[in-house]
Structure 1
Amino acid sequence: MKQFGLLLQDLKRSCQIWRFWMHLGWEDIARQYRRSFLGPVWITLNTGIFIVVFGLIGAQLFKTSASDYLPYLCVGHILFTSLSMLANEGCQVFVQAEPYLKQAPFPKFAFIFRAIWRNLILLAHNIPILLLVLGFTSGLMSVKPLWLLLGLAIFVTCATLAVAILGLIAARFRDVPMIVTSLMQIAFFVTPVMWKPEQLTERAQWAVHLNPLAALLDLVRAPLIGTYPSSASVVLGCATMVALFAVSFVLYTFARRRIVYWI
């Protein structure tokens, strides 16, 4: 019970010092753009060029119209890239925070929120591309706002819990970042980012039905392109959130105080 109380106190203090971790997130972004001519425009340009080029080619490969395939690819690519970056950077949250954690008793979750905030800023760089693609294809009026808010809430919550878990485990075992990088590369091909589940055989579709990443993509992508997420995606997304919460709760209850000694 004592460790549970300390965990709640850590969360409370992390929320109270929101200016601290938001400032660190902004500084991370500013440092990334320092001495850059175009700055954040590079991210938008790179994403836009890839989506347009591969979107036109993919529409021919998968025998579908460009107006149907482009928004599907656009949302899937942007969301999966964000998840991949969060997974890779999540392994470093406490290692990068070593100068802070070894000098003062900062709450641990502040550095998890820092990583989430930083990646939300990077995700926002691609909003112009998303608006343009949706505006010229499926149309912005077809967006389902309530379902979109629900999907984003589950998406961000799962991402936050995953970063918390990966950050703690990677602080103890330094091989974890390499393993996560390899797994995310494999996950890209078994997750419907560029292809659609109905293009697989009925047996192969189990790779989608049991894939939490596919569920998270569907929860956000479907409302954006004017459809509703499947009930299987809603159930799997909620189950994933509950499972991540349970794992992170156990890990941080018993190992939170050891993070400083591991980094």
Structure 2
Amino acid sequence: MTFMDAAAQSRTLSRAWGDLVDGFGKRELWLHLGWQDIKQRYRRSVLGPFWITIATGTTAVAMGALYSKLFKLELSEHLPYVTLGLIIWNLINASILEGAEVFIANEGLIKQLPTPLSVHVYRLVWRQMILFAHNIIIFVIIAIIYPKPWTWTDLAVIPALALIALNCVWVSLCFGILATRYRDISPLLNSLVQLLFFMTPIIWNENTLRSQGAGQWAKIVELNPLLHYLDIVRAPLLGADQQLRHWVVVLVLTVVGWVFAALAMRQYRARVPYWV
């Protein structure tokens, strides 16, 4: 078999799908590695990953209190809104920025340990879900202080989180492969994500726009896909009305994203070990 034949066989959807399935099957490996990442990062620390919880909580309280005063919003409504926005944003932000570095950061393992590439992505997403679980404690405390009436429909947060995790996987796969080939992608993403933070309703909402006489911008904000990802998780937890359009947009983007991820894995999966 020639090199060209071998390369052609490696660029098949079945091989790409097999990598994803085999990688998921090695759950003991990526679950262990993801947990070890957190333990290693906070080794010899008394509070460990709760330092991130403290930092997120402090930022949420400061921003929630400040912007509620600036825009004359009720603190009992705006503080939980900002807190959830920051917690969910941290999860999405990590899947983009750390996802772009996922293969570069694991160069040694990729070259020395013959495992599916997807193992490193699952490890990243699992690690971020653990941190999300730590951060959600902040919202639980705020929800106790400012209780809201909940209904059974608010359990939609469970499939919403599953959708977020599913999207984090394809985002990390796509940006990971792209940034491994083109190293300028990572700093570009850093700048873009920073801009998106201010363009996404995290510390402000539609009421903020209306109070500033900029209600017409609400339609433009709808074009920001991150708005829809935030809302499918935030609305159920706040006990707010859930909009069907947010779910439709997220489901469509999930399908489209996984199509791109499958194509990227089919075409470039075998080249990543040579690029890192």
The question of a shared fold, defined as TM-score above 0.5 by the shorter chain, is answered with yes
Number of positions where the alignment pairs a residue of Structure 1 with one of Structure 2: 263
Q: In structure 1, what is the Cα distance between the partners aligned to 2:265 and 2:64?
A: 42
Distance (whole Å) between structure 2 residues aligned to residue 203 and residue 83 of structure 1: 27
Which stretch of the first structure deviates more once superposed, 112-121 or 88-97?
Answer: 88-97
Aligned to 1:166: 175
1:105-254 aligned within 5 A: 105-139=114-148, 141=150, 144-200=153-209, 201-254=214-267
Report the residue type matching 1:85 in the other structure.
A
Q: Do the aligned residues in 1 keep the contact of 2:100 with 2:176 (CA within 8 Å)?
A: yes
Does residue 1:256 correspond to 2:265, yes or no?
no
In 1, Cα distance between the equivalents of 2:152 and 2:73? 21
Q: Distance in 2 between matches of 1:254 and 1:181?
A: 26
CA offset at residue 140 of structure 1?
6.8
- How far off its partner does 1:105 sit? 2.5
Say whether residues 1:64 and 2:77 are aligned partners.
no
Aligned 8 A contact 1:169 1:176 in 2: yes
Query: 2:13·2:263 contact (CA, 8 Å) conserved in 1?
Result: no
Matched, 1:45 2:54: yes
**2:21 corresponding residue in structure 1:** 12
Q: TM-score, normalised by structure 2?
A: 0.90
Equivalent pair of 1:90/1:167 in contact (CA under 8 Å): yes
Q: Deviations over 1:82-141 (max 9, x none)?
A: 211221110111112211221232101111000001111111111221101112214374
Max Rg structure: 2
Q: Is the contact made by 2:17 and 2:262 (CA closer than 8 Å) also made in structure 1?
A: no
- In 1, the alpha carbon distance for the partners of 2:186 and 2:149 equals 38
2:36 equivalent among 27, 36, 57: 27
CA distance in 2, matches of 1:67, 1:167: 40
Equivalent of 2:106 in 97, 118, 133: 97
Residues 138 and 225 in structure 1, CA contact (< 8 A), matched pair in contact too: no
The amino acid that maps onto 2:146 is T
The secondary structure found in structure 1 opposite 2:112 is coil
- Quote how far apart the aligned CAs of 1:207 are: 3.0
Q: Is the 8 A contact 2:81 2:234 kept in 1?
A: yes
CA offset digits 1:155-180 (Å, max 9, x no partner): 11111111111111011011111011
SS at match of 1:106: coil
Q: 1:140 to 1:117 in 2, by over 3 A?
A: farther
TM-score (norm 1): 0.94
Q: Is there any run of 5+ residues in structure 1 with no aligned partner, and where?
A: none
Q: Give the Cα separation in 1 of the matches to 2:207 and 2:178.
A: 36
Shift of 1:202: 4.3
- Provide the aligned C-alpha RMSD in A: 1.7
Write the letter of the residue equivalent to 1:95. I
Residue 76 to residue 175, structure 1, CA distance change in 2 (3 Å): same
Aligned residue in 1 for 2:3: none
Which secondary structure does the structure 2 equivalent of 1:205 belong to? Answer: helix
Question: What runs of 5+ residues in structure 2 fail to find an aligned partner?
Answer: 1-7
